[in-house]
Chains A and B, each alone.
Chain A
Amino acid sequence: MLEIKDLHVEVAGQKILKGLNLTINSGEVHAIMGPNGAGKSTLSYAICGKQGYDITQGSITFKGKDFLQLEANERAGEGVFLGFQYPVEIPGVSNLNFLKAALNSIRKYRGQEDMAAIDFLKLIRAKAAELEMDPEMLKRAVNVGFSGGEKKRNEMVQMALLDPIFSVLDETDSGLDIDALRIVAEGINRMRDPKKSILVITHYQRLLDYVVPDFVHVLANGKIVKSGDKALARQLEKEGYTGIDVDGQAA
């Protein structure tokens, strides 16, 4: 589904990713862990097409398409979703209008008609209920005045509504208490499907107790330095990153 080859990314002239390779197949859940400054968020932005993240070498293909030729919104149209570490507050735009605009933009990209307003309302109410979101939050401005947990829950509602085939979750678990973490984990687990894939970027093992990954990778110094299964995450939790040779040699 997603194939990243020899990816080099620069931000403001600084080399962040230095030859990263990653292949994610349908139905798989991958986790990327790594120390601060390893390039984890850069990877998620590069996949989703953020401006200012210059790809100097390598390729990203998604379902056979050259992703580097597509704008961020076109990548969303192809079925990619990015869950933000820090969801952005948008004063003056109601959550409901935002969600409707998002859904219909993606439908438009796929050559589908706008969803009828009444159907949209039914759908969004159902998704909000599944994720235990207070319906009042739909009327409020996007993320404005939301607590950290509410913002992340809102991300999960967006993900559920847009129903992506590939989700990147960038430290979605950071700053969450245990109840919020459970909600987020449930949100992610709902997306597990043989036809879909998920990439979870996280600092901590604890999310992976709820969202059990098929593969775990360690990102350090701009490259994936070690890959393994869920046992690797436990090892990292216990031993830290010091046990991993950041130059790419397995410890």
Chain B
Amino acid sequence: MTEKNHFDGANYVTNFNAASTELPGSSVAWLNDLRQSSMTAFENVGLPGPKVEEWKYSNLNILKSGQYQFLNESSSQDLQIDNLCDKEFLKDIKGAKVVFCNGYYHQSLSNISAEPGITLVNLNEYIKVGPKDAQRLIHQKKSKSSLNALNAALMSDGVVLIVEQGVKLSEPIQIIHINTEMATAKALRNRHYIQIEKNASAQIIESYIGVDGVDCWSHTVSEINVADGASLEIYQFQNEGNATIHTNEAIIDLGEGTTFKHCSLNIGGRLSRTEIKPTLKGINSKIELRGAFLSRDGNSHDVFTHIKHMVEQCDSEQNYRGVLAKGGKSAFQGKVYVAKDAQLTNANQSNKNLILERGAEANSKPELLIYADDVKCSHGATVGELDQEALFYLKTRGLDQAAAKALLVEAFIAEVYEDVVLEPVKCKYLDLARKWLEAEL
């Protein structure tokens, strides 16, 4: 039985059954139960089709045949992986690194000897060592998303990060996902559990890297808790190969007096969908979501945010920018829910899109559901072309057409990352954007 407007999930049940003995932790009974019940939950709903409002701009028709199979751990190892890591970037950021190769923890590239006061380990190891703790940690959150359930049923590995009460990490932690040729025709499913306990703070850099031409599905879910007084910053880089499908869902619960920042750049893959779903459960908390997506022919980037203001006196800010070359497609959907009791909420969102050439498609959809009466909420969306007056101005100062365009587009993107304090992260964002632009202009 599949819900109306959804694609039938039967092919995935076949995949699941075929993979059942190879799934990590198959000797752990509760985990098997969890996988099985998640599979059933997925099967009951199916894959969201384009008639589902939230999925209007990302057509999952390409996934309905279930052609992306489970990849077992022994087939995931790839000796070429060393060449794919951005060594310079790894060097500039001193903190711990957790590297996943085709969905599985890669020990020799990782360095998890982290600071005291934190637990940092890959999920499969965590389950093996302490199955009881793991059972408590895993799958606490109820998600209605069928893709989330599919991820839980077929997850290969992930990160467990627990930052203990009052611990403030001095260096960011990197979580790096690398897809290689071994991933061809496979689905890579990571599932991350991140707990920032009371008054603790952490920064995470989450990268997705891949090889052009590798047709795979990279599918990640992160479950995140930020306890009272804690803060978390996530810097995401989605830069996979041009044939990859990328779906990513982060569910974040925020306590009282918390800060949560999420910053992203979507640049790779043929279809990417980034979902960020923070829920404000304690007063005096702040959310800041920002990012850019750059689409060229054959790219579709879809950023979907859903912020729930459940309590009073919280702020949320969203700032997303899209740049589209000919044939590129993008969507920003910003959903903000303000509950009846969430008085004195400040919720602002802005999405600006720049079309470099006719024949691109930018979609922007703010959705504000406000049930409180004493709030300040705003939204703004624009789609436009480069300012011809500004181009001429730059050309009279000696810049040629390409350089003038590049300067204006870079500036448009750079405004999003202006406040990023981690210098190597900011530079990396701008470098990637610049390289993308050089190929387009």
Contact A92 B411 (CB under 8 A): yes
Q: Are A76 and B397 in contact (CB under 8 A)?
A: yes
CB <8 Å contact, A101 and B407? yes
Query: What's the Cα separation between A199 and B267 when bound, in Å?
Result: 47
Interface residues of A in 75-103 (CB under 8 A from B): 75-77, 81-82, 84, 87-93, 97-98, 101-103
CB-based contact A73/B398 at 8 Å: yes
In this assembly, does A109 line the interface, its C-beta being within 8 Å of a C-beta of chain B?
yes
Partner of A162, one of B389, B398, B401: B398
Assess A73 versus B411: contact at CB under 8 Å? Given A88-B387, A105-B403: no
B404 to chain A, nearest CB (A): 8
Instruction: Assess A73 versus B395: contact at CB under 8 Å? Given A101-B407, A105-B400.
Output: yes
- Bound-state CA distance A213–B397 (Å) is 25
* A83 nearest in chain B by CB position: B396
**Residues A76 and B408 in contact in the complex (CB < 8 Å), given A50-B392, A87-B393:** no
The answer to whether the Cβ of B388 comes within 8 Å of any Cβ in the partner chain is yes
Whether the Cβ atoms of A90 and B396 lie closer than 8 Å is: no
Contacts of B408 in A (CB 8 A): 90, 93
Q: Smallest CB–CB gap between B124 and chain A, Å?
A: 44
Are A109 and B398 within 8 A (Cβ)?
yes
Which residues of B are found within 8 Å of A98, using beta-carbon distances? 394, 397, 407
Q: Is A51 at the interface (CB under 8 A from chain B)?
A: yes
CB distance from A91 to the nearest CB of B (A): 7
Bitwise interface map of A from 52 to 85 toward B, beta carbon under 8 Å scored 1, else 0: 0000000000000000000111011100011010
The verdict on B375 contacting chain A, using a C-beta distance below 8 Å, is no
B407 surroundings in chain A (CB, below 8 A): 93, 97-98, 101
Choose among B387, B393, B411 the residue that contacts A84 (Cβ–Cβ < 8 A): B393
Interchain CB contact under 8 A, B396 and A72: yes
Neighbouring B residues of A105 by C-beta, 8 Å: 397-400, 403
Q: With A50-B392, A51-B392, A72-B392 as known contacts, state yes or no: A91 contacts B398, CB within 8 Å.
A: no
Number of interface residues of B (CB under 8 A): 23
CB neighbours (8 Å) of A7 from chain B are: none
Collect the chain A residues with CB atoms within 8 Å of residue B18's CB. none
B residues within 8 A CB of A101? Answer: 394, 397, 399, 403, 407
How many Å lie between the Cα of A141 and that of B407 in the bound state? 12
Q: Say yes or no: is A48 at the interface (Cβ < 8 Å to chain B).
A: yes
Report which of A49, A73, A82, A91 forms a contact with B399, defined as CB distance below 8 A: A73
A72 and B395 contacting across the interface, CB-CB below 8 Å? yes
CB distance from A174 to the nearest CB of B (A): 17
Among the listed A73, A81, A88, A106, which residue makes an inter-chain contact with B401, where contact means beta carbons less than 8 Å apart?
A73
> A71 to B410, alpha carbons, bound, how many Å?
23
**Per-residue 0/1 for B187-221: is the Cβ within 8 Å of any A Cβ (1 yes, 0 no)?**
00000000000000000000000000000000000
Contact size range, A: 20 to 34
B33 within 8 A of A: no
Q: Which of A161-189 contact B (CB under 8 A)?
A: 162
Interface centre among A49, A73, A89, A98 (most CB of B within 10 A): A73
- A75: B residues at CB distance < 8 A: 396
Question: Separation in Å of the A98 CB from the closest CB of chain B?
Answer: 7
Q: Which residues of B contact A72 (CB under 8 A)?
A: 392, 395-396
**A109: which B residues are within 8 A, CB to CB?**
398
B436 within 8 A of A: no
Query: Which residues on the A side are within 8 Å of B55 (C-beta)?
Result: none
Is A158 an interface position by the 8 A CB rule? yes
In the assembled complex, the Cα of A128 lies from the Cα of B397 at a distance in Å of 17
Is residue B373 contacting chain A, with contact meaning CB distance below 8 A?
no
B126 on interface, CB distance cutoff 8 Å: no
Residues of A within 8 A of B399 (CB): 73, 101-102, 105
Q: How far is the CA of A93 from the CA of B393 in the complex (A)?
A: 13
Q: Which residues of A contact B395 (CB under 8 A)?
A: 49, 71-73, 76
Name the B residues within 8 Å of A93 (CB-CB): 407-408, 410-411
Q: Looking at A84, A87, A101, A141, which has the most chain B CB atoms within 10 Å of its CB?
A: A101
Residues of chain A within 8 A of B412, CB atoms compared: 92
Asked whether any CB of chain A lies closer than 8 Å to the CB of B10, the reply is no
Are A71 and B403 neighbours in the complex by a CB distance under 8 Å? no
A128 CB to nearest chain B CB (Å)? 16
| A77 / chain B contacts, CB cutoff of 8 Å | 398
Question: B403 and A90: CB pair below 8 A?
Answer: no
**B367 interface residue (CB < 8 Å to A):** no
B390 at the interface (CB under 8 A from A): yes
With A and B bound together, what is the CA distance between A81 and B398 in angstroms?
A: 9
Residues of B within 8 A of A81 (CB): 396
* B414, CB-defined interface residue at 8 Å: yes
Q: B406 — nearest CB in chain A belongs to which residue?
A: A101
Q: Please, which residues of chain B bring their CB within 8 A of the CB of A158? A: 397
Bound-complex Cα distance A76 to B390 (A): 15
Bound complex: CA A51 to CA B401 (Å): 12
B415, CB-defined interface residue at 8 Å: yes
**One of A89, A90, A97, A102 near B398 (C-beta < 8 A):** A102
The 5 tightest CB contacts between A and B, nearest first, are: A92-B411, A105-B398, A102-B397, A72-B395, A106-B398
What residues make up the interface of A, taking CB atoms closer than 8 Å to B?
Answer: 48-51, 71-73, 75-77, 81-82, 84, 87-93, 97-98, 101-103, 105-106, 109, 141, 158, 162
Identify 6 new A-B residue pairs, CB closer than 8 A, beyond the known A101-B399, A105-B397: A72-B396, A84-B393, A90-B411, A92-B415, A105-B398, A106-B397
8 contacts between A and B (CB under 8 A): A88-B390, A88-B393, A92-B415, A97-B407, A101-B394, A101-B397, A105-B397, A105-B398
